[in-house]
Structure 1
Amino acid sequence: MKALINANVFDFESYVENQYILFEKEIIETGPMKDFVGADKVYDCQGSLVMPTFVLGHTHIYSAFAKGWITPFAPNSFKALLEQMWWKLDRGLNLESIYYSGLVSGMEFIKNGVTTVIDHHASGLDIRGSLNTLKQSLCEEIGLRGIFCFESSDRFNIEECIEENITFANYSTDQYAGLFGMHASLSLSDASLKKIATASKDLPIHIHVAESIEDQQDCLALYGTRVIERLDAFDLLRPNSILSHCIHLDEKELEQLSKKDIAIALNPTSNMNNGVGLPNYEQMKEKNIVSLLGNDGLGYNFTREINNFLFTMHHKALNPTAVDLNDVKTLMTNNYAYASQMLNCSLGKIEKGYKADFMTIPYTPFTPMNANNAMGHFFYGICDHFRPENVWCNGVIKLEGYEMKLKEEAIYLQAQKIAKAVWERIAY
């Protein structure tokens, strides 16, 4: 049995000082240090903060090898951006590059306190086996949790996309699960949507929706309807589905979604970077639509996304109180709840029965910290220079004393060679 001792525990709901945590794969017991009787392996937190590790609500691990890539790039629309960058990159990915994308992303996630990711994958050279390859690298080799799907699109062989999603989703554990992935309305014909709807049965979907206004314009021009109505016409708005972005939805569409058991994944930093606008979170909140927080594959620093959610919503509303720290807490709680449901385990609290997915963060506040203001310390203090010292997933330490437990240098050197090969394949 293992234990953390002398810990100040914060899990977005409560803040308690000088605690111990007994654990194996799950948390066995918590309590004040005066009641601690010992353990086989003890980690002394020395007053550091202990928090649940993060769940990332929408990302693209396949984007790993875009870092530093120089390619001709002069888009005059969002679709042109996709064509000139992301669609060029993903069509050059094979199983080897997918595997190493998962390895390096997994290590970067750990350094940033993320141990569960909801990933939206694409790879043109190898569709079949791509999700299992991601699972092998991220979940089995690195030891994190993942919820995966392949983004079906008419850019690829649609039959292979369908087969890959369904095959992977047939298997799940408390470490991995599958959704049915779709890129976006603008890259899927009615014929493809019909095939997907028939073959996938009741699988939840994971799709980009109205990330740019072009998604709506394309839908109206080709099908005479808006994106949400189009998806609903094919009975694809299924329980536990994730619709990412949802920036350019009107009130009628949001009202339609409010009647569905779905979640919207917000990605404010990526939205700013791509210049596509910002979601109307306030209206989503008013209509009781569940919102998750993702990063759309833009790096690994999730606390940047947490900060930017609040800041961008203030900017959009031109009101510094339109959204507050309770909304931040809600998004974090929703991420944990969604992943817990999909993986059939308990994530996101430092309590008995929850998975031993947590991290220690040295933090010495220079103003008083207590249960009433801990969320403020997290957002404006801890997130400002976030760097966990130790990270556990499933009770196994992954980062100790800021050092990875894997042979990081060898993996990164090999990844550099593979990235170079990817760049050469897609150069033109």
Structure 2
Amino acid sequence: MSMLILKNATVVQLHPAKVQSNVDIAIENDLIKEVGTNLSQRYPQASVKEMQGRLVMPGNVCSHNHFYSGLSRGIQANIAPSPDFISTLKNLWWRLDRALDEESMYYSGLICSLEAIRSGCTAVIDHSASPNYIAGSLSQLRNAFLKVGLRGMTCYETTDRNGGLKELQAGVEENIRFAAEIDRARENGREPYLVEAHIGAHAPFTVPDEGLSMLSEALKSTGRGLHIHAAEDLYDVSHSHHHYGKDLLVRLADYDLIDSKTLVAHGLYLSEEDISLLNERDGFLVHNARSNMNNHVGYNQRLTTFRNLALGTDGIGSDMFEELKFAFFKHRDAGGPLWPDSFAKALTNGNELLSRNFNARFGRVEAGYKADLTVCDYIAPTPLIAENVAGHIAFGMGSASVHSVMVNGVMVYEDRQFTFDCEPIFAEARKAAQKMWQRMDALS
């Protein structure tokens, strides 16, 4: 049993909003034991780290990401002009994912995990694709999470877009295999419980009914929830209406795929019935503002109607301070009524997703909650109080202020340094990226 006290901290929570100055945080193993004053006197055996008034917050969670795309930054490959979303998928992303192999997947996972921690994330909910390297691919991502000390979830995006029924089966089997791997790891307890599983699917327009049936059985057999894109573009909606005569989530619900662990990414063009169904079953909609802007797919005008709104990046890093800013400013640009506190709540909902999947409490600096914390060097130029915390983030504080990050009670990033040399990892990642780009160029 180990105990650590973070002394003289300023505790900040986004939702419910709270600011406490000059307090101590006692951490026992992976849990917060107590928040109060003079805790080093109460626990004289504890180690002490002086916070010097720094902000200590529940760690940020990126609720939808694609670590497989980590080596695409600055990509040098022949990519045909892509005037719409579907052509962007075909010309870029569906070629890149087929170029991934074991090495590139691992290094993509590593560098994305490092950058997530450095930007103040304690957890990332990932969604992976590598059609020519399916079996075992999720284990490589888990290895990367564990190496860096990042908490997270991942899954394989089941699809038939390259290999029909055989590819569907391979995707579902990898999801089931990985969930079983997580269960075994929890039972033996030799490694920290940092990684969980979703059951993944690409999007309704690349998963036929046979695939939905397989996914339904996978959910039942593993006890996990579904992670899927839906209505990112109008094409997804049109395809569902044309081929199945149903709204997107209504079709998924016919196979019992919507529940309280369901994560739907994007959802720009979901119908009212879709949204009602997702809300009734207590599922999550993850908004990815920067990705939607980058792909020119439009804006989700119904953010106010979702019961559980969370924030993700869809592969554009894991800087959730930045993502919150973009989500808010794009909403204002679109004439939306929400203020920063609504997006602060959405960011906090990432921790609620973790709570439901890890069967533990996340997202508050309170006794009994997981010690997943972000420490920031932020000198407030105006009073910092519960009523304006979200405004300080929307208009000021960013990832440049991240000083330290704790995951599962362990300081994985302290005083802006990792506990190991990262440069060799980035050097190998650059080599892996070049090889992947070459393989991608060879694909039509």
Length-normalised TM-score, structure 2: 0.90
- Other structure's SS at 1:196 match: helix
**Which of residues 370, 378, 385 in structure 2 aligns to 1:363?**
378
State the AA in 1 paired with 2:118.
K
Shift of 1:398: 1.5
Tell me how far 1:145 sits from its aligned partner: 1.1
Matched, 1:17 2:17: no
Map of 2:403 onto structure 1:
389
Out of 230-239 and 340-349, give the one that drifted further.
Answer: 230-239
- Which deviates further from its counterpart, 270-279 or 33-42? 33-42
Rounded Cα–Cα distance in structure 1 between residues aligned with 2:277 and 2:409: 41
* SS of alignment partner, residue 297 of structure 1: coil
Runs (4 or more) in structure 1 with deviation over 3 Å come to 33-40
Q: Pick from 310, 332, 336: which aligns with 2:351?
A: 336
Residues 285-330 of structure 1 show CA distances to partners (whole Å, capped at 9, x for unaligned) of 4xxx2111111111222111111111122222x25xx001331232
- What does residue 190 of structure 2 align with? none
Give me the identity figure in percent: 32
Q: Aligned pair 1:417/2:424, yes or no?
A: no
Secondary structure of 2:401's partner? Answer: coil
Q: CA deviation at 1:60?
A: 0.4
Is 1:206 the counterpart of 2:233? The answer is no
Which one is further off, 23-32 or 268-277? 23-32
Q: What letter is aligned with 1:295?
A: T
2:123 aligns with 116
Tell me if structure 1 keeps the 8 A contact 2:5–2:40: no
1:244 CA displacement: 0.7
Tell me the amino acid that sits aligned with residue 146 of structure 1: G
Whole-Å Cα distance in 2 between the matches of residues 281 and 7 of structure 1? Answer: 38
The change in CA–CA distance for 1:207 and 1:282 in structure 2 (over 3 A counts) is closer
Q: Deviation of residue 36 (structure 1)?
A: 4.5
CA contact (8 A) 2:65 2:125 kept: yes
Whether 1:217 aligns to 2:238 is: yes
- The answer on whether the counterparts of 1:22 and 1:39 sit within 8 Å (CA) in structure 2 is no
Secondary structure of 1:230's counterpart equals: helix
Matched, 1:226 2:233: no
Q: Within 2, Cα distance between the matches of 1:232 and 1:106?
A: 33
Give the Cα–Cα distance (whole angstroms) in 2 for the partners of residues 203 and 373 of structure 1.
37
Q: Which residue identity lines up with residue 167 of structure 1 in the other structure?
A: R
Match of 1:407 in 2: 421
Contact 1:303 1:386 in 2 (8 A): no
Q: Give the equivalent residue in structure 2 for 1:88.
A: 95
Matched, 1:48 2:54: yes
One-letter amino acid matched to 1:26:
L
Q: Which amino acid aligns with 2:351?
A: Y
Please say if 1:257 is aligned against 2:300.
Answer: no
Query: What residue number does 2:211 align with?
Result: 192
Paired residue for 1:372?
A: 387
Residue number in structure 2 paired with 1:306: 324
How many Å separate the matches in 1 of 2:46 and 2:117?
25
* AA aligned opposite 1:402: R
Which residue of structure 1 lines up, in the alignment, with residue 10 of structure 2? Answer: 8
Kindly report the root-mean-square deviation, in angstroms, between the aligned alpha carbons of the 2 structures: 1.9
Where does the alignment leave 5 or more consecutive residues of structure 1 unmatched? none
The match for 2:32 is: 27
**Residues 1:183 and 2:183 are matched in the alignment:** no
Q: Distance in 2 between matches of 1:254 and 1:160?
A: 30
Offset at residue 87 of structure 1 (A) = 0.8
Structure 1 residue identity aligned to 2:206: S
Are 1:77 and 2:84 an aligned pair?
A: yes
1:326 aligns with 2:341: yes
Asked if the contact 2:121/2:374 (under 8 Å) is kept, the reply is no
- Does 146-155 or 188-197 show the bigger shift? 188-197
Amino acid at match of 2:423: E
Q: What amino acid maps onto 1:47 in structure 2? A: G
The amino acid that maps onto 1:92 is: A
CA contact (8 A) 1:30 1:351 kept: yes
- Residue deviations 1:321-374 (CA, integer Å, cap 9, x gap): x00133123212321111112012221111122122112211212222233333
Cα deviation, residue 32, structure 1: 2.2
Q: What is the distance in 1 between the residues matched to 2:365 and 2:86?
A: 43
Instruction: Report the alpha carbon displacement of residue 134 of structure 1 after superposing the two structures with TM.
Output: 0.8
Greater CA drift, 194-203 or 92-101: 194-203
In structure 2, C-alpha distance between the alignment counterparts of 1:345 and 1:392, rounded to whole Å: 16
Instruction: Give SS of 1:303's match.
Output: helix
State how far apart, in whole Å, the 2-side matches of 1:419 and 1:34 are: 48
Cα distance in structure 2, aligned partners of 1:371 and 1:206: 33
Amino acid at match of 2:207: L
The residue aligned with 2:258 is 237
Helix, strand or coil: the match of 1:3? Answer: strand
Q: 1:91 and 1:181 mapped to 2: Cα distance?
A: 17
CA distance in 2, matches of 1:253, 1:146: 27
Q: How many residues align?
A: 420
Shift in CA distance, 175/207, structure 1 to aligned 2, threshold 3 Å: same
**Unpaired runs of 5+ in structure 2?**
187-192
Listed as ranges, the matches of 1:262-273 within 5 Å are 262-273=283-294
If the length of structure 1 is used for normalisation, what is the TM-score?
0.93
- 419 and 39 in structure 1: CA distance in 2 versus 1, 3 angstrom threshold: farther
- Cα shift readout 1:266-302 (whole Å, capped 9, x = no counterpart): 11110011000122344424xxx21111111112221
Residue type matched to 1:187 in 2? T
Residue in 2 aligned with 1:151?
A: 157
SS in 1 for 2:235: helix
Would you say the 8 A contact 2:58–2:372 is kept in 1? yes
- Deviates most, 92-101 or 102-111: 92-101
Structure 1 letter corresponding to 2:241: L
User: Structure 1: how far apart are the matches of 2:206 and 2:4?
Assistant: 50
Is the partner of 2:273 in helix, strand or coil?
Answer: helix
